[in-house]
Amino acid sequence: MAVSRQLRRPLGWIAFGLGMIALRVVMHWVPAFAEDMYGRGIFPLIRLGLDNTLGLLPFPAVYLLIALLFFRMIRRLRFHERDFYSRLQRLGTMVLSLVAFFLAAAGLFLFLWGFNYARIPLRHQLALSLEPLEGSVLVGELEQAAAGLNLWAQRTLPGPGDDLEGRVRAAMAGTLESMDWPAVGRPRARTFYPGVLLKAFGVSGIYNPFTGAATLAAGLPPVTRPFLMAHELAHAWGITDEGEANLAAFLACTRSADAEMAYSAHLAWWQYLAGPVSRSNTDAFSRISAQLVPRVQGDLAAIRAHWRQYSGRLMRAARQVNNMYLRSQGLAAGVLSYESFPALLRSWRRAGAAGR
């Protein structure tokens, strides 16, 4: 009887995890169900619950989560060393506990946020196309990004302003509401220390479904933080596609009269365009780069230098893991989905010119 009671909890978590995975498969084939029942029904309630509990803590809840996991691991290891377990029983119980842990984590991930992957993509709801940017069109986009950078560089002072989190969150909420995308709640944007633990893997920020917080690595170049924060807050409100999160972040940062946010967004836009243009048209890239004002050139050089110190095998391996994860969630482009942002932005502008 004692053994059966010990089995009851892990078997319950296994059943929960398998049930959530099965529901995810169903949602994949019926995205309208995922959109209406989860995205516009259950998820906003989850958002409110997290924001009014863990979101009220004066410190990032991820530290509490790490401490809890560490405590549970130590407790389980000590429990399995008790004399009344034979070696075979200990091995079987440990395997069962591991299976239960991973399935519980998978099930909670899906319930707390992961079902958003099955929703109708934002670009489909907005009727945006993904036409490749090539030739003169691609060069023209880089010219627009350069003009915006030069403009906003003259309107903002170096260094962060007050209450960046509040300003970015308000701008993102307004942007999503204008797109008829639910923006319920007040998700937090937290800073994770030590930032090197994220940046060593090439990660500037993540959304943590278990704590409900957008999390940025400590020590990022200050000019990049507004856009990165907006990107992670887009995830916090249920946008899963990386290119779509970038689009929402850019629109949020540029629609307000906040020069710091607009400058950060244009830096990101430039970076997504610079690679393709430099590879396809070296002369055009050199010409446009030379037109950037000294402050912009200095900020871009500082960003490159910052990330150069983290480049290496670990970052490349992390990119491959992230690529596999995104594809497993239905994003066929994997990490390349980030790079769809410039095409989505151009499609948005063209739709607006046509009378959105």
pLDDT tens column, 120-137? 999 999 999 888 888 999
Query: pLDDT exceeding 70 applies to what percent of the chain?
Result: 88
Beta strands 213-217 and 189-192 are parallel
pLDDT in tens, 250-307: 999 998 788 999 999 999 999 999 999 999 899 999 999 999 999 999 999 999 999 9
Order of strands across the sheet that contains 189-192 = 189-192, 213-217, 205-208
Q: Whole-model pTM above 0.85?
A: yes
Where do we find the tokens 């594809």? 327
Q: Mean pLDDT, to the nearest integer, of 36-44?
A: 98
| Alpha-carbon gap, residue 96 to 19, rounded angstroms | 17
b/e code 151-165 from CB counts within 10 Å (16+ = b): ebbeebeeeeeeebb
Contacts for 37 with CB less than 8 Å, ≥ 6 apart = none
